[in-house]
Structure 1
Amino acid sequence: MPKLIIQNGIFITNDENKPVVEGHMVVEHGRIAFIGAELPEPPAPGDEVIDGRRRLYMPGLVNTHGHAAMSLLRGVGDDLALQVWLQEKMWPNEAKFTADDVRAGTLLSILEMLKGGTTCFVDMYDHMDQVALAVEQAGMRASLTRGVIGLCPPDVQQSKLEEAKRFARDWNGKADGRITTMMAPHAAYTCPPDYIEKIVAAAHELNLPIHTHMSETIHEVRENEAQYGLRPVAHLEKLGVFTRPCLVAHAVHLTDEEIDVLCKYDVRISHNIGSNLKLASGVARLPELLNAGVLVSLGTDGAASNNNLDMFEEMRLAALVHKGVSFEPTAVPAWQALRMGTIDGARSIWLQDVGSLQPGMKADFIAIDIDQPHLLPHSNLISHVVYSASAKDVTDVWVDGRELVRNGECKTLDEERIKAEFNACYKRLIV
């Protein structure tokens, strides 16, 4: 089988021993076969050879929390508190969404993510078959889950649960292994305790992780205490949520004791700093979480609360905001923000062979045009990726060694058709 050989490139590897390598990378059978200063053998006839000069290659970005179809609601409910935003803007509009709307919104978000260097994402939503089909078509990697809200009669609860289980069974491991699945009670404030226990039982039955929103706002924490006598962490612990591998989104409002509990159960956290800032939810205790050994990754949340899906921006915010809040310039160094956006994101969704450029790892990687004024001089390229670069600097994207974006153009999706169908859905739904 022909190899892909990138010559004369600069590679950010996420290998602690060799974080930056100048030289060549060889991809074979969808995995990295070699990376180093000198090629082990010259290219053979039929190999694809790319001149990597003026490019920086790095692992693809991993977005560990979002709702892709909510691109349809971008800008619809800005500058509002979370509960007002949900109850008055999001939920009424989302109630109108059809499967076709979810597909259109998801495809637009996938296009945005892919062209911006995100090769893998987590999605929690409804009509998830359409999301999975879009992922399969695009060639991306994703961890998908049918988000379940339990504020409904028991028969509807049961129907949603069965749908979530069916989706998880049908799609786990599909798209040549690029799709994995989880179970997802939306949040403690949208799911009664007995319903969460049923979802936990289903996760055990299917041997799947759990993904949920948790401790996003002070209001949520106080309401949980008022209703159940416990803060969200203790509440979810009592209901058995942490008996499964678990990824929680937000985790903004935590005590020292709660951080210890999350560490004890190896609960992973998706830090959604852009969304949390925009909704005035607060700033998570990231330095304390990292110091305690909690695995923290980065997520954009949906485009309705961010309002973009630029993971470079999330890395930059994570590195900058926590410096300012803590008055400590070393709170989140650039290298740590980069890991949170790449390899720690992959590990947060239990992918062990994604997130670094090393032999044996899956060839999910991106190229950045570093021959630009804002990325010169090439003094510290890890710093430049976090503090200077943006999604618009990405030129090329590969997943499983397959090129999905070339020179800024998506090769697997029809961009003009996606935009036209998306705009038609938006006008019908919102205008």
Structure 2
Amino acid sequence: MQSCDTLLFAEIIVTQNESRSIIYNGGIAVSEGKIVCVDTADAVRSQYTSENTMELGNSLLMPGLINSHTHAAMTLLRGVADDLPLMDWLNDHIFPVEQNLTAEQVELGALLACAEMTRYGTTSFCDMYLIEDATYKAVDQSGLRVLGGEGLFVFPSPAYPDFETGIKLVREMEAKWRGNARIRQAVMPHAVYTTTPEILTTCREVAEELDLPLHIHLAETPAETKACLESFGKRPVEYAHSLGLLSERTTVAHAVDLTDDEISLLAETGTNVAHNPESNMKLASGMAPIQKMLAKGVNVTLGTDGAASNNALNMFTEMASCAFMHKVQLLDPTAATAQSVLDMATCNGARSMGQADLGSLVEGKQADIIAIDLTQPNLLPMHNPVSQLVYATNGAEVHMSMVAGEVLYQDGKYLKIDYPALIEAAKDVAKWVQKKIQKRS
């Protein structure tokens, strides 16, 4: 018998391995934060022993979900400006408040986001925001994983007075957090309409120099396309490609307004797409042609966007929205199958983040695992686990979240976050935001 750090046993394991195997009455052995065995419970018990055994009973174990595009600290602005078009929402309501944010407020908003994601089964996320170092501090405290980057603009932000200082800050944060296994850095120019060709070229060069991922909002709305044509004489995807931005290291968020040729270009360059169906619907940005992208071989992932434009960070409801949106978009019930959508939220997300050790429960991969309570009435009876995860689960059934073998949340309790204190802090920041809004009006 071999000793391991933790043993988990449950009724069902959705592995998301290459063959998409589902194990009934299964077990997982974990050592040093990694999975060392996934098999039937009898097979695992015959090989491993541990002083920490989690008998989870009528539960489903699966990989932690990966939120491929969000702005964590925008939890502070949840519900501030709803029912508006994207550019009005950004320019008239969001940007003005954000310009006054402090590091302490960003850390608070990010910690609130981490609590929400942990509670609803997300264990890794890709984040672009302001004063991103404060977000990293929140992630470090929460135990989650992040691929993050300071949002880079042509205009000043609360983190820097100009782009040159901003890109210097990216270098400094890469050096500062390089030793943290759960916090990874990317280069994140905000969008084509908030940057210049020189800024985007520099971002690409720095990403290549430091071998970092690159992440940008792209082709989100027809209005963006029109503005890009007027400013640069090219549509957003063509413009980004002309500057060398499209590559396997790059993830473009949204990719709503695309031509067939642009979809082929994304596929040919290996560019990843972070699909944000609920935000796209709420802002009436449009419906991304993900079925065409998948058919061309584009790696499509799933994200929530920020809590100010969603208004939640719940990847289970995002999966359902994704599946339903594209079935009605194409009037085809076979579009956006449950398995393809689950892939977007797990293994596809791991690929876009450059972390091959995430997204599935396989020997040698990180022990980022969540447990779903199968006794909840909306999950009964259990005919097809993948179908139930995408179409029936709402996230409240998550009763355990683990990252690198460490339990972060279990049965209503946060093990690394002081949640009662977080509730009180959120009340205080809400008053500050309201004062800023009232002052502008």
TM norm structure 1: 0.96
Cα contact 1:146–1:167 (8 A) shared by 2: no
1:33 paired with 2:36, answer yes
Cα contact 1:188–1:214 (8 A) shared by 2: yes
Q: Tell me how large the CA RMSD over aligned residues is.
A: 1.7
Cα contact 2:8–2:56 (8 A) shared by 1: yes
Within 2, Cα distance between the matches of 1:239 and 1:199?
10
1:6 paired with 2:12, answer no
| One of 201, 204, 214 as aligned partner of 2:205 | 201
Which stretch shows the higher mean deviation, 158-167 or 332-341? Answer: 158-167
Residue by residue over 1:111-156, the C-alpha shift from the partner in whole angstroms, topping out at 9 and shown as x without a partner, is: 0000110000011011111111111111111101011111359971
1:169 paired with 2:175, answer yes
| One of 285, 291, 312 as aligned partner of 1:287 | 291
Which stretch shows the higher mean deviation, 8-17 or 48-57? Answer: 8-17
Aligned to 1:249, the other structure's residue is in SS state: strand
Q: 1:46 to 1:365 in 2, by over 3 A?
A: closer
Which segments of 5 or more consecutive residues in structure 2 lack a partner in the other structure? 436-441
Q: Which amino acid aligns with 1:225?
A: L
Aligned to 2:147, the other structure's residue is in SS state: strand
| One of 227, 234, 237 as aligned partner of 1:230 | 234
Which segments of 5 or more consecutive residues in structure 1 lack a partner in the other structure? none
Within 2, Cα distance between the matches of 1:408 and 1:65?
26
1:309 paired with 2:321, answer no
Q: Which amino acid aligns with 1:334?
A: A
Within 2, Cα distance between the matches of 1:61 and 1:130?
23
Cα contact 2:248–2:271 (8 A) shared by 1: no
Cα contact 1:9–1:51 (8 A) shared by 2: no
Q: 1:144 to 1:155 in 2, by over 3 A?
A: closer
Within 1, Cα distance between the matches of 2:82 and 2:11?
42
1:250 paired with 2:254, answer yes
| Residue pairs, 1:184-223, within 5 angstroms | 184-223=188-227
Within 2, Cα distance between the matches of 1:181 and 1:364?
20
1:158 paired with 2:139, answer no
| Residue pairs, 1:38-77, within 5 angstroms | 38-42=42-46, 47-77=51-81
Over 4 Å off, 4+ runs: 40-46, 152-155
- Give 1:121's aligned residue: 125
Q: Which amino acid aligns with 1:78?
A: D
- Give 1:386's aligned residue: 390
- Give 2:22's aligned residue: 20
Within 1, Cα distance between the matches of 2:270 and 2:48?
46
Between the aligned residues of both structures, percent identity stands at 37
Q: How many residues align?
A: 429
- Give 1:178's aligned residue: 182
Cα contact 1:31–1:362 (8 A) shared by 2: yes
Within 1, Cα distance between the matches of 2:69 and 2:377?
32
Within 1, Cα distance between the matches of 2:252 and 2:399?
32
Residue 234 (structure 1) shift: 1.0
- Give 2:107's aligned residue: 103
1:328 paired with 2:343, answer no
| One of 414, 422, 436 as aligned partner of 1:418 | 422
Within 2, Cα distance between the matches of 1:56 and 1:167?
38
Residue 44 (structure 1) shift: 6.9
Q: Which amino acid aligns with 2:302?
A: L
Residue 215 (structure 1) shift: 0.5
Residue 362 (structure 1) shift: 0.8
Residue 70 (structure 1) shift: 0.6
Residue 39 (structure 1) shift: 2.6
